[in-house]
Chains A and B, each alone.
Chain A
Amino acid sequence: MSRTIYFDNNATTQVAPEVTEAMLPFFTTYWGNPSSMHTFGGQVAKYVDKAREQVAALFNAKPSEIIFTSCGTESDNTAIWTALQTNPTKKHIVTTSVEHSAILQTAAFWERNGYRVTRLGVDEKGRLDMDEYAAALTPDTAIVSIMYANNEVGNIYPIPQMAEMAKERGILFHTDAVQAAGKVDIDLAKVPVDMLSISGHKLHAPKGVGMLFVRKGLIFRPFIRGGHQEAGRRAGTENVPYIVGLGTACDLARAHMEEENVRVAALRDRLEEGITANVPDCLVNGDREHRLPGTTNIAFRNIEGEAVLLMLDRLGICASSGSACTSGSLEPSHVLSAMKVPFKYAHSSTRFSLCRYNTQEEVDFAIENIPAVIKTLRELSPFKD
């Protein structure tokens, strides 16, 4: 069993070969510090500038609006931090109950420090309610932070509309676009968000690099203090090789956006239909009308997720589960719990997330083998109804 079928691209992605190649000279030859006065170091700065342009181009933003960070989580923390620091009289944060922990835990931290947090609920398909959202926006609201797309079920939220509603009320709007970047066409000249986070390793750049878009004119307070890098907005010597890698990855993402939305979406559909047609009593979690092209989240009645994942692992198939069967897990995952997925299904919800490197052959292998795995586990289960 040497073959690996990687269907866990919402967790992390393979570094594109073009990205690795673009990065290598910055380990071996151009390893200087871009802030140095001498030519050897200083010459590196132009490659950071180029990467900034490449990243900006993916979102139709200005290069000066791009701040490189170490990861999506840092970008998220920074966005909330600067919003609260620059609006010291406002004590309210609006977010959702289905955010990534980078936002959920940050919001909970500020809540412990005197802020009020509204977490918008979702319906059974994981959709937000625009009336509930409108009602949550108050003159005391310092920032709204809502993910562009959900990591577990792949739902894409109506960020252009929600950002517009915040803007009308003079409230800052941040979106965690870690899952959406490179898959959803985001034109920041049109979508009125103030800040947007991405992470390199979700779009075929390496782990350890991220980006925060901060719209021109927005007052900003750095989260990480120190040197003058990133125009004084994010201290710390630039991670040049990874920044170059992120630039290349964004170029590739722009080139492959259509493929993601056509070929990868078709593979996802084939996998989803193949499994649901051959396995009785399963259901697809999430909003199938507005969903990332590569993501499907399938729940199998009466069995448990970790057992499913380990059986799939034996077949070389990498997937993931919202369920972590540990002692502290009455609730399968905060996302599925917020969606009120029935217990009989929630514990086995399995996420398959595809990317442009997946093939139809891999999908067909999965379709061929998964029904037997589910059948075996159901035979072991005491619950048969």
Chain B
Amino acid sequence: MWNYSQKVQDFFLKPHNAGPLEDANAIGEVGSLACGDALKLYLKIDDKGVIQKASFETFGCASAIASSSILTDMVIGMHVDDALKITNADIANALDGLPREKMHCSVMGQEALEAAIRQWRGEPALPKTQEEGKLVCKCFNVTDLTIIKAIRENHLTTVDDITAFTKAGGACGSCRDEIAEILETELKRMNGELPDAAPAKSEARPEAAAKPQVTFGATPSMLTNLERMQKVMTAMQLIRPQLQADGGDVRLVDINGKTVTVELTGHCVGCPASKATLHQVIEQILRMQVEPDIVVKEAGD
């Protein structure tokens, strides 16, 4: 049960900034009792747009409480423009990772923050993805833009990933086909097979792709072969531009269980650093994005 990082446990047992904030001038509320978790985030923002105080009230599990609490710590002293750049991955990383099935707690935190700041700016007190998106999951009230944002910011590659991060499709399941279609389209866009139809504006952080991925805490991975292959292929698309920048490239040769065989091409061939590239770049990224025990081999090794 304590499959939480020490930080999650600490912030759950001794949460900072708990309780309502009397002089709050921005409040963001997301979730509901029916959904099983809900967060009310209180902010006191000064005239210059700097968050002076923050507090929270959360109905939910340990990770929901910890995510809310650490978020309040993160935003105090921050300008709202910078606060809006906080992603769910930032929240999860600040907690040293969350179990996969709890990632939606970090998404909830990000959305409450955005809703509060929007309210302060006189906009509807909803995350933009919810205001502008089309409703996909009626059980948990999740829109297509929320799903797209989660896919892009967290490099999600399966419908189950999307459920873990947004809860969409987790209850009655009737929207799972629609989620699968959204996912397919987004993956194609990310691979450059489709033109990029500007997604939710609040995301669009070009550095997001190169940023280290969220760690999934201690939850053991349970990927099927097919899911693993899909994830490896998606991750390879993120690795290639990094090598291409140095005049090299990499080709995926084979995936056998957790062993991924690649062929380094271009300037990478014969480069004295190619072994390091293999292990420090490719293997590390695959281990973070796919599974912690992936092994990368060079073809012909």
**CB-based contact A381/B58 at 8 Å:** yes
- A300-317 interface with B by 8 A CB criterion: 302-307, 309-311, 313-314
Interface centre among B61, B163, B170, B171 (most CB of A within 10 A): B61
A383 and B38 form a contact (CB under 8 A)? yes
Inter-chain contact A328/B1, CB cutoff 8 Å? no
Whether B59 lies near A383 (C-beta < 8 A) is yes
Stretch in A31-39, A94-102, A265-273, A319-327 with 4+ CB within 8 Å of B: A319-327
Q: Which residues of A contact B104 (CB under 8 A)?
A: 327
Contacts of B59 in A (CB 8 A): 302-304, 347, 380-383
* Cβ A330 vs Cβ B139 within 8 A: yes
For chain B, give the interface size range: 35 or more
**CB-CB < 8 A to A314: which residues of B?**
13
Which residues of chain A come closer than 8 Å to B39, judged between CB atoms? 382
A305's nearest neighbour on chain B, judged by CB, is B61
The minimal Cβ–Cβ distance linking B276 to chain A, given in whole angstroms, is: 38
Across the interface, A327 reaches (CB within 8 A) one of B38, B57, B62, B165, namely B165
B167 at the interface (CB under 8 A from A): yes
B60 pairs with A307, CB closer than 8 A: yes
Q: Does A241 contact B (CB under 8 A)?
A: no
Question: How many Å from the CB of A222 to the closest CB on chain B?
Answer: 31
**Pick from B29, B34, B172: contact of A382, CB under 8 Å:** B29
A310–B15 CB distance below 8 A: no
Q: Is the CB of B171 within 8 A of A380?
A: no
Q: Which residues of A contact B1 (CB under 8 A)?
A: 309-310, 313
Residue B53 is within 8 A (CB to CB) of chain A in the complex: no
Nearest A residue to B140, CB-CB: A330
Within 8 A of A (CB), among B152-173: 163-167, 170-172
Judged by a CB distance under 8 angstroms, whether A119 is at the interface is: no
Contacts A380-B58, A381-B57, A381-B58 known; A332 to B36 CB distance under 8 Å?
Answer: yes
Q: Does A331 contact B (CB under 8 A)?
A: yes
Interface range for A = 20 to 34
A331 and B36 alpha carbons, distance in the complex (Å):
8
Is A379 part of the contact surface with B, judged by Cβ < 8 Å?
yes
Among candidates A303, A343, A380, residue contacting B15 with C-beta atoms closer than 8 Å? A380
Q: Which of A302, A309, A325, A330 contacts B171 (CB 8 A)?
A: A330
A307 proximity list for chain B (CB < 8 A): 12, 60-62, 65
| B99-112 interface bits toward A, Cβ cutoff 8 Å, 1 = contact, 0 = none | 00111100000000
The interface bits of chain B over 4-23 (1 if a CB of A lies within 8 angstroms of the residue's CB, else 0) are: 00000000110100110000
Q: Render B37-66 as a binary contact track against A, CB cut-off 8 A, 1 for contact.
A: 111100000000000000001111110110
Contact check, A343 vs B33: say whether CB atoms are below 8 A apart. Answer: yes
- Assess whether B271 is interfacial by the CB under 8 Å rule: no
Q: Report if A50 contacts B (CB, 8 A).
A: no
CB of A221 within 8 A of chain B?
no
- Cα–Cα distance between A308 and B252 once the two chains are bound (Å): 48
Closest to A381 in B: B59
Assembled-state Cα–Cα distance A315/B170 (Å): 32
Across the two chains, which residue of chain B brings its CB closest to A347?
Answer: B36
Taking CB as reference atom, which chain B residue is nearest A325? B61
A344 within 8 A of B: yes
A383 contact set on B, CB distance < 8 A: 33, 38, 59
Q: List the A residue with the shortest CB-CB distance to B31.
A: A382
- Within 8 Å by CB of A380, from B33, B35, B65, lies B65
Residues of B within 8 A of A309 (CB): 1
A28 within 8 Å of B (CB atoms): no
B164 touches A327 (CB 8 A): yes
Residue of A313, A323, A328, A344 with highest tally of chain B CB at under 10 A: A328
A382 to B140, CA, bound (A): 18
For residue A329, CB closer than 8 A to chain B, the reply is: yes
Q: How far is the CB of B40 from chain A (nearest CB, A)?
A: 4
Q: A325 and B37: CB pair below 8 A?
A: yes
On whether the beta carbons of B34 and A343 are closer than 8 Å, the reply is yes
- B37 and A304 within 8 A (CB): yes
Given contacts A379-B18, A382-B59, contact A347 B167 (CB under 8 A): no
Residues of B within 8 A of A382 (CB): 29, 38-40, 57-59
Provide the residues of chain A in CB contact with B19, threshold 8 Å.
Answer: 379-380
Q: Is the CB of B58 within 8 A of A327?
A: no
Name the A residues within 8 Å of B38 (CB-CB).
Answer: 382-383
A344 to B33: give the CA distance in the assembly, Å: 7
A347-383 toward B: CB 8 Å interface, digit per residue (1/0)?
Answer: 1000000000000000000000000000000011111
Q: Of A329, A331, A344, which is in contact with the most chain B CB atoms at under 10 Å from its CB?
A: A329
Is A306 touching B170 in the complex (CB atoms < 8 A)? no
Residues of A within 8 A of B (CB): 302-307, 309-311, 313-314, 323, 325-332, 343-344, 347, 379-383
- Please name 10 pairs of A and B residues whose Cβ atoms are closer than 8 Å in the assembled complex, sorted by A: A306-B61, A306-B62, A307-B61, A310-B12, A325-B102, A327-B166, A329-B170, A344-B33, A347-B59, A383-B38
**Interface pairs A-B: 8 shortest CB-CB:** A330-B171, A328-B170, A325-B61, A382-B57, A306-B61, A382-B40, A326-B101, A381-B59
Using A302-B33, A304-B64 as known contacts, list a sample of 5 further A-B pairs with CB atoms less than 8 Å apart, ordered by residue number in A. Answer: A327-B163, A328-B170, A332-B36, A380-B18, A381-B59
